[in-house]
């Protein structure tokens, strides 16, 4: 399985960055995995959120060509951890497309970019901060790997 986590800019919280690194290391025991930080809007007028999202979407798009794109979106599909493991197994099978998990910046993802996603995933009915959502997502991917490994052992 080949997995990429893609988001605009470096995660600002040092603690969350450290957790990202820890989960990345754990996921890499089971799959090819990397974090890609694309261009983040800086110094742009926050009163024009559409423009900021569009600018950031430009950077994201350059990274996801050919990938199976999964965008985090609060109105996306929710699922249990086991369902998520099955979802990863189906869509990230060996020889299949690379999975690109995309998390927006502090203003979320561009509407047009969201339309291009193969899947829109919701982690919670609650609104998580975009930086914390990155960690929750990585933890779920790691958990899924563990679930899948168990299933493989059981076979």
End-to-end CA distance of the chain: 19
Query: Using CB under 8 A, which of the segments 14-22, 45-53, 63-71, 91-99 binds a copy of itself?
Result: 14-22
- Residue 73 binds a copy of itself, judged by CB under 8 A: no
- The CA distance from 28 to 23, in Å, is 8
Q: Least distance (Å) from a copy of itself to the CB of residue 88?
A: 13
Distance CA 8, CA 17 (A): 14
Are the CB atoms for 19 and 133 separated by under 8 Å? no
CA gap 81, 121 in Å, rounded: 12
Under the criterion CB under 8 A, does residue 91 sit at the interface with a copy of itself?
A: no
Q: Which stretch binds a copy of itself (CB under 8 A): 29-37, 44-52, 65-73, 119-127?
A: 119-127
Residue 36 as a binder of a copy of itself (CB under 8 A): the answer is no
Closest CB 75 distance from a copy of itself, rounded Å: 11
Give yes or no for residue 139 binding a copy of itself (CB under 8 A). Answer: yes
When binding is defined by CB under 8 A, the residue of 9, 13, 30, 76 that contacts a copy of itself is 13
3-state secondary structure 84-128: HHHHHHHHCCCCCCCEEEECCECCECCHHHHHHCCEEECCCCCCC
Return the number of the residue (32 or 78) whose C-beta is nearest a copy of itself. Answer: 78
């Amino acid at each position: 399985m080949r997995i990429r986590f893609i988001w605009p800019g470096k995660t600002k919280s040092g603690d969350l960055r450290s957790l990202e690194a820890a989960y990345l290391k754990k996921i890499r025991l089971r799959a090819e995995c990397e974090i890609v930080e694309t261009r983040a809007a800086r110094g742009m007028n926050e009163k024009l959120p559409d423009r900021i999202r569009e600018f950031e979407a430009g950077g994201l798009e350059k990274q996801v060509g050919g990938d199976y794109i999964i965008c985090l979106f609060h109105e996306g599909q929710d699922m249990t951890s086991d369902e998520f493991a099955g979802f990863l197994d189906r869509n990230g099978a060996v020889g299949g497309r690379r999975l690109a998990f995309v998390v927006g910046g502090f203003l979320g993802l561009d509407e047009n970019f969201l339309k291009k996603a193969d899947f829109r995933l919701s982690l919670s009915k609650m609104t998580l901060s975009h930086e914390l959502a990155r960690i929750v997502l990585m933890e779920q991917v790691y958990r899924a790997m563990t679930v899948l490994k168990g299933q493989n052992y059981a076979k």
